[in-house]
Amino acid sequence: MSRGTRQSTLPSSRTERRTQIADGALPRRQSDDEVTIWWSNLSETQANFGLQANLLSDEDLLRAGRMSNSNVRDRWITGRATLRSILSVYLGIPERAISIAYEALGKPQVKNRGTFRFNLSHSADLAALAVTWKKRFGINILRIRDDININDFAPWTFAENDLNAWRRLPEDEQRLSFLRSWVRKEAYLKGQGFGLSHSMRDLQVVESSTDCCMRIVNTRSGAPDRRWRIHDLTSPEPGFVAAVAVDGKVSRLISRRWPDGSICAT
């Protein structure tokens, strides 16, 4: 089907949405140690832009109205509508009725929903929304770009030992190594609620000796964080790197595409 005649990919009601997600793909009440990641191509869902605005809260619309760049505003509305649509499926309430609050450093959470948690990241046209019913966590994705001078950012990203090792890498491997380090650390900082207010140079990512994940070591104290685990993610679209950091052991990471619910590689 051509883009000009593309049908709606973002349903206007809970009833319609259930018919668009594949049988068996509707979220169940997953266990407390599972994390589900929903991937969405914002350029595709943006085709139904008029409907998306109807899913936003009054506060969302006011925030969007303050954005002067129309491309940024439209992309934000698309991402916000996708977020509300997915949360609505989990929580069983209308999209507009979902109340989103922010912690002191800006991490979002759903009001009055106990331990249910979500975290959103997007880069270019790709968005990733992760949800759990209990665990603290953070997710981050980045498009692999050639127009970023990584040599300028590397001293602010790597711990000293890691920076020296990174500089010894072949030049054609440095960009991917830098971006992987960035997404792992930012996912961890988002999970902690710090965001980029905390220095990445104080963090070192190390392979775990006990399970298939990575851990964080604070380079100032030398102490490892024995709770949090970092997992690399496989993007469903080429040209991206992604990671999720979780407080505690994860029994299963599940990746699905929105809106059809199809399983994709983790």
Here the CATH number for the domain that contains residue 209 is 3.90.470.20
- In the chain, % of residues over pLDDT 90: 64
Residue 266 in domain = no
Residue 144 in domain = yes
Identify the CA nearest to 85 among candidates 60, 52, 63, 59: 52
Whether residue 20 is predicted with pLDDT greater than 50 in this model: the reply is no
Residue 156 in domain = yes
Give residue 106's pLDDT band: very low, low, confident or very high (50, 70, 90).
confident
Domain residues for the domain of 6 are 1-135
Whether residue 86 is predicted with pLDDT greater than 50 in this model: the reply is yes
Residue 104: the pLDDT is 80
- The answer on 90 and 32 residing in a single domain is yes
Residue 124: the pLDDT is 93
**Helix, strand, coil share of the chain (percent; to 5):** 35, 25, 35
The whole-chain average pLDDT of the chain stands at: 86
User: Cβ distance 245 to 225 under 8 Å?
Assistant: no
What is the C-alpha to C-alpha distance for residues 39 and 103, in angstroms, rounded to an integer? 24
Q: In total, how many domains does the chain have?
A: 2
Lowest-confidence pick of 96-105, 234-243, 244-253: 96-105
User: Looking at the DSSP assignment, which residues form a beta bridge with residue 248?
Assistant: none
Whether residue 159 is predicted with pLDDT greater than 60 in this model: the reply is yes
What average pLDDT does range 139-154 have in this prediction? 95
Judged on CB neighbours under 10 Å (0-12, 13-18, 19+), 72 is exposed
User: Cβ distance 91 to 114 under 8 Å?
Assistant: no
Backbone angles phi, psi at 69, to 5 degrees: -85, 115
Residue 28: the pLDDT is 57
Give residue 47's pLDDT band: very low, low, confident or very high (50, 70, 90).
low
- In the chain, % of residues over pLDDT 70: 87
Residue 262 in domain = no
Q: How many CA atoms lie within 13 A of 251 on its CB side?
A: 8
Q: How far is CA 94 from the centre of its chain?
A: 22
Could you give the residue ranges of the DSSP H alpha helices within the chain? 14-20, 42-45, 49-53, 58-65, 70-91, 150-157, 160-167, 171-192
- The answer on 130 and 14 residing in a single domain is yes
- The answer on 153 and 124 residing in a single domain is no
- The answer on 195 and 124 residing in a single domain is no
What average pLDDT does range 143-161 have in this prediction? 94
Q: In terms of pLDDT, which residue wins out, 187 or 105?
A: 187
Whether residue 10 is predicted with pLDDT greater than 60 in this model: the reply is no
What is the C-alpha to C-alpha distance for residues 243 and 36, in angstroms, rounded to an integer? 13
- The answer on 114 and 148 residing in a single domain is no
Q: In terms of pLDDT, which residue wins out, 44 or 211?
A: 44
**Torsion sign over Cα 30, 107, 114, 212:** positive
Give residue 103's pLDDT band: very low, low, confident or very high (50, 70, 90).
confident
| DSSP state letter for 94 | -
